[in-house]
Structure 1
Amino acid sequence: MSGREPAATPAGWWIALLALTAARLGAAALLPLSPDEAYYWVWGRDLQPGYLDHPPMVALWIAAGTALAGDGPLGIRLLGPPALALASLAVAGAGNALFPDRRPGTWAAALMNAMPVTNAGAVLMTPDTPVFVFWCLALWAAARLHASGDGRWWLAVGGFAGAALASKYTAALLGAGLLLWLVAEPSARRWWRDWRLYAGGLLAGALFLPVVAWNAAHGWASFAKQGGRAGAGEDFAWRFLGELLAGQLGLASPVLLALCAVGVGAAAVAWARRGAGGAGLLAALTLPAAALFLWQATGSRVQGNWPAILYPAASVAAAAFTARRWQRIGAWLGLGLTVLALVQAAAAPLPLRRGTDPTLARLGGWPGLAREAEAARRAAGAAFLAAEEYGLAAQLALHLPPGVPVVAIGDRWALFGLPAPPAGEAGILLRSLRRGEGPSLWSGAAPGGEVVRARDGIEAERYRLLRVETPPPGQPAALLPRPR
């Protein structure tokens, strides 16, 4: 181990990081909001210690951003780009601390920032953004702990790990990786006798305690929902493994994914053969979690964004153990794919259909849909617009003209502190035709036409309009907030 501080980072690297952050802020302001982002904006207007889907950190970030910049895309996403710049500094510092002789830090940060998944997390505001940032900061603190031998770093590790766990439950894999390293790495076993290890753990637990308390007060709803996703299904399915691999090829980019795999493998070999504790830390933070995701994909779908938390440590390993020439190729390819995706999302120069353009499916046509829905509401003389899908309801709340009530219905809304809709009023419900024609949650719904969400004339989704009345008492429903 070495406590030697890394030399100053080149000025060009700082300029590139500032330029990248400015570009991400511009993209955050220009790109349309996704349904999930709109839904998390509702969270930010009803702050709680927990929610059905995730812990509350993303709501806190959105509340802070919208307080500074308003309820538009920039305000909702405001904290993402500067936070990713901080995460980049953390990864660079971690790489230089773990390998002071090779000093791979700036290249590790460059590889991580070239990945499309990192840029998506920097621009779009979901729970993946804060958990990724705090994971990077925890990696940096653990690297400084290993390099310096100073046990006070355990307090920083615990604080960042607790903040990551208050962002998304998959941060538990960070604790599992650190535990494996403490058990398997001989030079780290001495920390079991140091009170600061346990103080860091207590700090992490204290930061997560409000989430536990919220779950206890709400029938363990969030733990049950997310815990139900753990584990593989009963039947082995190659297609889920194929989806996971294809997703990572697109989100990390092919060359960078290969470099990360080779780098982590080389780090594991260096740990096993030479007792390289710093390389072992990287292997412990990636390999068990990667194995878990692969195992889960043998029987159920693993969302492509879930493994994003593995790439900070994997990028350090790639920068330390692979050829610089391939790192340059991978970085340029990753950035090129990122630019293509962002341009398509913002301007749609390619007239792609929904099945080949995820930006159309998630981001396209929401303001136009709100205008069509509002015209239908006025024509019907209805008092409100409504939706059963939480993302659709939140998009309507963001895009409809001021003063138009938006009602959301479903069990999840019983866990919010939002007001109930006024009784005895008629409204128009939007229901996606892609989700089938099953029975509505609204009793007595009557057909009322269709509206289409489209971008530049290309259909993204079609919605059935149903005439409904305010849900009866006892039916979970909420009157959603509107932009201030």
Structure 2
Amino acid sequence: MSRAAALALLALAALTALRLLTAFWLPAAPDEAYYWIWGRALAPGYYDHPPMVALWTAAGTGLLGDTPFGIRLLAPLGVALASVLLARAGDSLFPERRPGIWAAALMNATLLFGAGSVLITPDTPLLVFWCAALWAVARLHATQDGRWWLAFGLLAGCALLSKYTALLLGGGVVLWLLLEPRARRWLRDGRLWAGGALAFLVFAPVVYWNARHDWVSFAKQGGRAGRVGAASALRYLGELIGGQAGLATPIIFVLCIAGAAAACRWWIVRRDAAAGLLVTITVPAALLFLWQATGSRVQGNWPAILYPTACIAAAACLGPRWARWRGPGIALGLALTLVVLVQAAFAPLPLPRRSDPTLARLGGWEAFAAKVEEARRERGAVFVAAEEYGLASELALYLPEGVRVVALGDRWDLFDLPAPTPWQPGLLVRSTRRTGAPLWPAARQEGELVRSRKGIEAERYRLYGVSVPSEGPTMAVLPPRR
């Protein structure tokens, strides 16, 4: 092992240790608590996403218990593995330049991965298996050994089990096979088709689950784009570009764009097949997100899949004038990541909710659950209920053992969870940000509670006295904390 590789591994180990420490310290975000519920009610599919994130949360809590650290344990460890695989992929694609360490460093210095890897979302296993599949196809290109198609198929199937946007990875590779003359020979190799069949077999349980549930998950994720006016389209495009510049950090964002453009030149002018692979995986997906932003808002985490290949392109295809910005870009990204993690964990800056997303998502959940439990006892309620899936999941995670949490909403009809007993009294907790009347029939308002962190309000909630009706909206009793 070279000295540079040894230093890179030490730096990655230190960064992973920091992420694990932060993961231990932070409370669970609402989406993380929701995915914890998934892990307690394992199924081949869910309304929102495929099941891989549920398997990860189930594995982590199986080792460390139903705690925020257990829920997100595999996230920092998985991103560390993805970093190593990305570095190996870069070196396999461009063995003369050996850009792997720089590519992994650029990726880890973005806020998307530097801070985002502390939390567990479907994007986390997607990133890990995306990088693993990219490593497999890079080894295929380097060795010309068709057996790597089997590894690629297995890993791409696992990426599809993580999030449906993994289709863009397979689509990019297929496009490379069609457009790159030196890759077309694989179309006549049975191992390529065996790898594709393996990917489908891995993903087949999700197809089966959707077929039994009216294709609800496919319909939800496939119907994201809509039509808006020109002003809204420009606003959404501006949000997408500005958001990515912030989440990737400005210097790395520019380097990734320049790297993708340079890879296009390498493919066209130099006929570099490795650069062509980066282009077909990165550019069509980027254009798809830009097109989608003309019709609907693109969430900031969705384009995260662009950065592994874009970072390799930035590390491998840019000349010395651009390369001198890699160090400052990584330094700025790591500094911003540290600021975000410190603010999330300790809140040294007294920022209001509108200026601090860590307050809205992470602030004060344990203390708030204690307030809810006190209100439940005062009113003699048998259970606590919530309409928002994230709020219901947080309450199930943080309320004392034995306190039942009832969740409302059609999505819970897709889970194999019990219904509450009719006519029992309960306490409904509902954010004041929700408009309209409660979904619960005959709810009686009985006060308010505030969730806060260091005295700064994160959210305000109304309390309602309720009882379980014999008929009404879909209700499910969430699994208790073990």
In 1: Cα distance, 2:191 partner to 2:306 partner: 26
Deviates more, 1:205-214 or 1:373-382: 373-382
> Per-residue CA shift, 1:439-463, capped at 9, x if unaligned?
2211111111111111111111111
> Per-residue CA shift, 1:6-35, capped at 9, x if unaligned?
978621111111111111111111112100
In 1: Cα distance, 2:471 partner to 2:125 partner: 37
Residue pair 2:263, 2:278 contacting (<8 A) in 1 also: yes
Residue pair 1:232, 1:297 contacting (<8 A) in 2 also: no
Alignment partner of 1:425 is 2:419:
no
| 2:367 corresponding residue in structure 1 | 368
Deviates more, 1:232-241 or 1:400-409: 232-241
How far 1:108 moved relative to its partner?
0.6
Aligned pair partner of 2:85 in 82, 85, 90: 90
| 1:310 corresponding residue in structure 2 | 306
Q: Aligned ranges for residues 396-475 of structure 1 at < 5 Å? A: 396-436=395-435, 438-473=436-471, 475=473
In 2: Cα distance, 1:472 partner to 1:253 partner: 53
| 1:337 corresponding residue in structure 2 | 336
How far 1:274 moved relative to its partner?
1.3
The letter of the residue matching 1:399 is Y
CA RMSD in angstroms, aligned pairs only: 1.2
In 1: Cα distance, 2:229 partner to 2:153 partner: 38
Q: Aligned ranges for residues 252-331 of structure 1 at < 5 Å? A: 252-322=248-318, 323-331=322-330
In 1: Cα distance, 2:340 partner to 2:456 partner: 17
Report the 3-state secondary structure (helix = DSSP H, G, I; strand = E; otherwise coil) of the residue aligned with 1:302: coil
> Per-residue CA shift, 1:139-168, capped at 9, x if unaligned?
111111111111111111111110000000
| 2:474 corresponding residue in structure 1 | 476
Q: How many residues align?
A: 477
In 2: Cα distance, 1:267 partner to 1:30 partner: 41
In 1: Cα distance, 2:249 partner to 2:163 partner: 24
In 2: Cα distance, 1:384 partner to 1:227 partner: 36
Aligned pair partner of 2:239 in 232, 238, 243: 243
In 1: Cα distance, 2:468 partner to 2:438 partner: 13
In 1: Cα distance, 2:472 partner to 2:365 partner: 31
Residue pair 1:87, 1:136 contacting (<8 A) in 2 also: yes
> Per-residue CA shift, 1:80-133, capped at 9, x if unaligned?
112111101111011111111111111111111111101233210110100011
Alignment partner of 1:233 is 2:194:
no
Residue pair 1:80, 1:121 contacting (<8 A) in 2 also: no
The letter of the residue matching 1:143 is A
The letter of the residue matching 1:151 is G
The letter of the residue matching 1:130 is P
Report the 3-state secondary structure (helix = DSSP H, G, I; strand = E; otherwise coil) of the residue aligned with 1:48: coil
The letter of the residue matching 2:195 is G
How far 1:234 moved relative to its partner?
4.0
In 2: Cα distance, 1:289 partner to 1:134 partner: 17
| 2:142 corresponding residue in structure 1 | 147
How far 1:472 moved relative to its partner?
2.7
The letter of the residue matching 1:396 is L
Q: Aligned ranges for residues 35-50 of structure 1 at < 5 Å? A: 35-50=30-45
Report the 3-state secondary structure (helix = DSSP H, G, I; strand = E; otherwise coil) of the residue aligned with 2:47: coil
Cα 1:471–1:274 shift into 2, 3 Å: farther
Alignment partner of 1:61 is 2:47:
no
Identity level (%): 62
Report the 3-state secondary structure (helix = DSSP H, G, I; strand = E; otherwise coil) of the residue aligned with 1:466: strand
| 1:393 corresponding residue in structure 2 | 392
Q: Which runs of 5+ in 1 are unaligned?
A: 1-5
| 2:164 corresponding residue in structure 1 | 169
How far 1:232 moved relative to its partner?
4.3
Q: Aligned ranges for residues 218-229 of structure 1 at < 5 Å? A: 218-229=213-224
| 2:119 corresponding residue in structure 1 | 124
| 1:3 corresponding residue in structure 2 | none
In 2: Cα distance, 1:40 partner to 1:473 partner: 28
In 2: Cα distance, 1:435 partner to 1:246 partner: 28
| 1:99 corresponding residue in structure 2 | 94
In 1: Cα distance, 2:469 partner to 2:289 partner: 40
Report the 3-state secondary structure (helix = DSSP H, G, I; strand = E; otherwise coil) of the residue aligned with 1:288: helix
Report the 3-state secondary structure (helix = DSSP H, G, I; strand = E; otherwise coil) of the residue aligned with 2:108: helix
The letter of the residue matching 2:439 is L
Alignment partner of 1:114 is 2:109:
yes
Cα 1:168–1:471 shift into 2, 3 Å: farther
> Per-residue CA shift, 1:24-48, capped at 9, x if unaligned?
1111111121000000000000000
In 1: Cα distance, 2:255 partner to 2:226 partner: 28
The letter of the residue matching 1:321 is C
Aligned pair partner of 1:26 in 15, 21, 26: 21
How far 1:473 moved relative to its partner?
4.0
Alignment partner of 1:74 is 2:69:
yes
> Per-residue CA shift, 1:196-243, capped at 9, x if unaligned?
1101100100010000000011111111111111x3424232111111
| 2:129 corresponding residue in structure 1 | 134
Report the 3-state secondary structure (helix = DSSP H, G, I; strand = E; otherwise coil) of the residue aligned with 2:324: helix
